[in-house]
Structure formats: C-alpha cells, structure tokens
C-alpha cells in the first residue's frame, strides 16, 4: 500500500453519505427503512432543463469548456444576481464550478494557509470543517444552539475574531438548522466585520429558494455593499432546481479572488461538464414559478412532521424557516432504555435504535457540530415523511 498523505487523516467521509449507503444496503437486504438522511430534493429535474441537455448534445457542445464557465452561463448567473438579489457583478467577478462544493474547496485552497482561522457557526454543513482542515486552516467553531435560533450573534462573532481570522461562513437558510438570517441580523454582523478588515465573509446561499412562511431572503453582499471587496457569494442549481447530479455551482465576488479560484480549478477539474453548464443556463433563464410550488410542498412536509415530533416527549423541535431538514433536540431521550434493555447513552445509540427498531434512518447532530440533535431530511414524499414521524413516535413510546 502506498504511504498516504497526512492531509488525508484530517478529513472524513461525509456521515450523511455513509448513512445513505447503509440505508441502501439494508433496503437491498429486504428491510423496511425510510431513509431521511440525504440532502437532495426528491423532485425530478424540470423537463425544460433535460431538454436543454439534449439540445446541447445535438449541437455538439461537448468540447473542453472555458475554466471559469461558458459565457452564456456566466451571463445567466450575472442576470440571476441582478434579478433576485439586486447585485451587479462584472463577468470577471463570476465563476462556475463542479457544484458549490468545488467552489468552496477552491476558495479555501486559494486563500487559507496554515494558522488561518475560519469561523464556522455550529450547527454547520460538515464539509466546511473538513475543507478548512484540508487547506491547513484552523476551524473556529462557534456554538449556536436552539436558544439563539441556531444563528451566530454579533457578540459571539466579536469574541471569535482574532488577528488570524480569515473567513466567517454564513449559510442561510442553513443546513441542518433551516435558520434564516434576517436583514437586521446580517446588518448587525456586518457592523462587527467593519471593525475587523482582515475578515472576509463567505455567504453560502445554496438553499435560497427553499424558504417557508414568506420569510425574506437576504445575503451579506446585499445588506453590506461596503463589504463587497471582501464578500464571496456562493450558490448553485442543485437544491432549488433538483439538479444535484449535474454538479453545478457558482460564485461571485472580488475579481482577484475569483481569479485565484479559477487558477486553482484550472489544475483540478478545469471547466465544468459542458452539458451541465447548458442545463444550468436553462434552469436560471427558464420559468421560475415552480420554485415556489416546490417550497410549498416542503413547507407542508415540515408542518406535518413538526406536529408529530412536537408531541414526542423528550424531543424539542424548532420551526425551520427554510432548507429541507428538521433538527430536533433529543436530550430527553438519552438515558432511556429500549425494549431489549439497552440504555441509549448517546445520539448514535438513538440513531441506531430508530433505524433498527423504528425503521427510520436519520443522522446524528454530532455530524453537524451540535449535540444532542437529530437531522431529519424532509426531501422525501409527504407520505414517507408522515410515516417516518409516526414510526419515530412509536419507537420513542416504547422506551422505558
């Protein structure tokens, strides 16, 4: 076996991907499991997007694309930012990557050096941590519990900043909490950032279109235009347009930063799959009305599952304002005994119990930096989500 780089030992495989794999194995073995582990819309990719791929193929759009993105897509992204966010970017301030995941990876590889600190409010999307570590950076995790609505406060931000702070990561609507930062909350964070010119802010807006109850969406570049020269706005088509497999994300920010990220990408994947780029043009330039219908479907699932979970003694569930996860606190279930006499010592025990005895697969909060919680994805049919809620209730009712 070849000797592996020490870099590799700093990172891990995604717990939700591993849980999803376990669900597939159990289902293949004939078990009745409802898998609510994955962050992927269950809807189909829209028909006009599929057609755009066929058309692009027939036009022979199959050659190496430009590293930063085909002009038509960069223009579509430019128009998206103007239309939806009131943000004006020049084309050399925009780039396209293989998923917003690669955009984030490029960002950290291009900007983070040993000793640089990255402020990550917890709960967080796990990859922020691993990507910081693989770039030799130091994650500074700030605990943002249910009491503060899972959001970092200006005081917490002020105390977390040091001379070495490079980035603050904001993810709104957030995975796994579903929390959304209001305009005034972002303004208050911007006020802190103004006192610390060394700190850059990365806004991961991938769940922008998945919002409930008419809550407004704001992004840092919009509310604090004076911070534009140190703000990176990241988004993509995966979640809104049910296009996870196309692997297409994009970013806009200062020209020099985007240039550095393009340089980094030029030595990894280079340009994004040409057909995915044409698909994304169709998604961003095509009809947008269905986005609200899909968000409404997620909202109904949220409401139905919340109703069931809030009647489960020992669980407390905040009402997520967006994204497609519920993140109940489950402290009251730890220490209880299962019908077979096993004490639930940890979140992990609870997750295994719900999977083995309840027939529902969810992910432990620890994977997202905040315990004891469970992340329950509602990116599954209403029927599945409701049945999962019932199964969780009965499994908990059987505890002693």
Ligand X SMILES: Cc1ncc(COP(=O)(O)O)c(C=O)c1O
Please say which residue, 78 or 244, places its beta carbon nearer to ligand X: 244
- Tell me how far, at minimum, the Cβ of 188 lies from ligand X, in Å: 22
CA distance 83 to 154: 30
- Tell me how far, at minimum, the Cβ of 37 lies from ligand X, in Å: 12
* Residue 175 sits in the site that holds ligand X (CB under 6 A): yes
* Residue 171 sits in the site that holds ligand X (CB under 6 A): yes
Instruction: Determine if the peptide bond prior to 197 is cis (ω within 30°).
Output: no
- Tell me how far, at minimum, the Cβ of 171 lies from ligand X, in Å: 5
- Tell me how far, at minimum, the Cβ of 377 lies from ligand X, in Å: 10
CA dihedral sign of residues 13, 14, 20, 23: positive
- Tell me how far, at minimum, the Cβ of 349 lies from ligand X, in Å: 26
Please say which residue, 19 or 312, places its beta carbon nearer to ligand X: 19
**How many residues form the binding site for ligand X (CB under 6 A)?**
13
- Tell me how far, at minimum, the Cβ of 244 lies from ligand X, in Å: 5
Rg of the Cα trace of the chain?
A: 21
Instruction: Determine if the peptide bond prior to 173 is cis (ω within 30°).
Output: yes
In the set 78, 85, 93, 100, which binds ligand X (CB under 6 A)? 100
- Tell me how far, at minimum, the Cβ of 100 lies from ligand X, in Å: 3
CA dihedral sign of residues 46, 101, 27, 306: negative
x/- site string to ligand X, residues 111 to 140, per CB under 6 A?
--------------x---------------
CA dihedral sign of residues 301, 303, 304, 307: positive
Please say which residue, 359 or 369, places its beta carbon nearer to ligand X: 369
In the set 42, 68, 185, 204, which binds ligand X (CB under 6 A)? 204
* Residue 219 sits in the site that holds ligand X (CB under 6 A): no
Please say which residue, 206 or 258, places its beta carbon nearer to ligand X: 206
* Contact call for residues 358 and 339 (beta carbons, < 8 A): no
Please say which residue, 125 or 212, places its beta carbon nearer to ligand X: 125
Per residue, the 3-state secondary structure of the chain, as one string, reads CCCCCHHHHCCCCCHHHHHHHHHHHHHHCCCCCEECCCCCCCCCCCHHHHHHHHHHHHCCCCCCCCCCCCHHHHHHHHHHHHHHHCCCCCHHHEEEECHHHHHHHHHHHHHCCCCCEEEEEECCCHHHHHHHHHCCCEEEEEECCHHHCCCCCHHHHHHHCCCCEEEEEEECCCCCCCCCCCHHHHHHHHHHHHCCCCCEEEEECCCCCCECCCCCCCCHHHHCHHHHHHEEEEEECCCCCCCHHHCCEEEECCHHHHHHHHHHHHCCCCCCCHHHHHHHHHHHHCCCHHHHHHHHHHHHHHHHHHHHHCCCCCCECCCCCECCEECCECHHHCCCECCCCCECCCHHHHHHHHHHHHCEECEEHHHHCCCCEEEEECCCCHHHHHHHHHHHHHHHHCCC
- Tell me how far, at minimum, the Cβ of 165 lies from ligand X, in Å: 21
* Residue 321 sits in the site that holds ligand X (CB under 6 A): no
Please say which residue, 100 or 321, places its beta carbon nearer to ligand X: 100
Segment near ligand X (CB under 6 A); pick from 70-78, 94-102, 220-228, 269-277? 94-102
- Tell me how far, at minimum, the Cβ of 38 lies from ligand X, in Å: 9
- Tell me how far, at minimum, the Cβ of 233 lies from ligand X, in Å: 13
Residue closest to ligand X, measured at CB: 99
* Residue 41 sits in the site that holds ligand X (CB under 6 A): no
Segment near ligand X (CB under 6 A); pick from 3-11, 43-51, 98-106, 291-299? 98-106
Please say which residue, 238 or 276, places its beta carbon nearer to ligand X: 238
Please say which residue, 111 or 338, places its beta carbon nearer to ligand X: 111
CA distance 112 to 41: 32
- Tell me how far, at minimum, the Cβ of 96 lies from ligand X, in Å: 11
In the set 87, 206, 283, 363, which binds ligand X (CB under 6 A)? 206
x/- site string to ligand X, residues 232 to 261, per CB under 6 A?
----x-x-----x----x------------
Q: Which chain residues interact with ligand X by CB under 6 A?
A: 39, 99-101, 125, 171, 175, 204, 206, 236, 238, 244, 249
């Amino acid at each position: 076996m070849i000797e592996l780089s020490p870099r590799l030992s700093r990172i891990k495989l995604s717990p939700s991907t591993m849980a999803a794999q376990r669900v597939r194995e159990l289902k293949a073995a004939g078990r009745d499991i409802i898998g609510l582990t994955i962050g992927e819309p269950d809807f189909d990719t829209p028909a006009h997007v599929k057609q755009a791929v066929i058309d692009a193929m027939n036009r022979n759009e199959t050659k190496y694309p430009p590293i930063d993105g085909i002009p038509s897509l960069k223009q579509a992204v430019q128009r998206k930012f103007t239309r939806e966010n009131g943000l004006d970017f020049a084309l050399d301030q925009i780039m396209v990557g293989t998923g917003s995941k690669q955009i984030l990876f490029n960002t950290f590889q291009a900007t983070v050096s040993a000793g640089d600190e990255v402020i990550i409010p917890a709960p967080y999307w796990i990859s922020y941590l691993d990507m910081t570590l693989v770039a030799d950076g130091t994650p500074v995790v700030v605990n943002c519990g249910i009491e503060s609505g899972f959001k970092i406060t200006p005081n917490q931000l002020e105390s977390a900043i040091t001379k070495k702070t490079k980035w603050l990561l904001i993810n709104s609507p957030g995975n796994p909490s579903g929390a959304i930062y209001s305009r005034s909350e972002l303004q208050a964070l911007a006020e802190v950032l103004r006192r610390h010119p060394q700190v850059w802010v990365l806004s991961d807006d991938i769940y922008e279109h998945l919002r409930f109850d008419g809550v407004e969406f704001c992004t840092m570049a919009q509310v604090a235009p004076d911070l534009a020269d140190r703000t990176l706005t990241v988004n993509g088509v995966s979640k809104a347009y049910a296009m996870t497999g196309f692997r297409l994300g994009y970013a806009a920010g200062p020209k020099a930063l985007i240039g550095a990220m393009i340089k980094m990408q030029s030595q990894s994947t280079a340009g994004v799959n040409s057909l995915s780029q044409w698909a994304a043009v169709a998604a961003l330039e095509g009809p947008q009305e269905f986005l609200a219908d899909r968000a409404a479907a997620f909202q109904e699932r949220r409401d139905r599952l919340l109703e069931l979970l809030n009647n489960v003694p020992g669980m407390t569930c905040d009402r997520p304002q967006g994204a497609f996860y519920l993140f109940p606190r489950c402290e009251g279930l730890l220490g209880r005994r299962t019908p077979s006499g096993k004490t639930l010592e940890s979140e992990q025990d609870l997750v295994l119990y719900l999977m083995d005895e309840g027939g529902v697969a969810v992910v432990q909060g620890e994977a997202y930096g905040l315990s004891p919680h469970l992340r329950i994805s509602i990116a599954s049919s209403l029927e599945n989500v409701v049945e999962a809620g019932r199964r969780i209730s009965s499994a908990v009712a059987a505890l002693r």
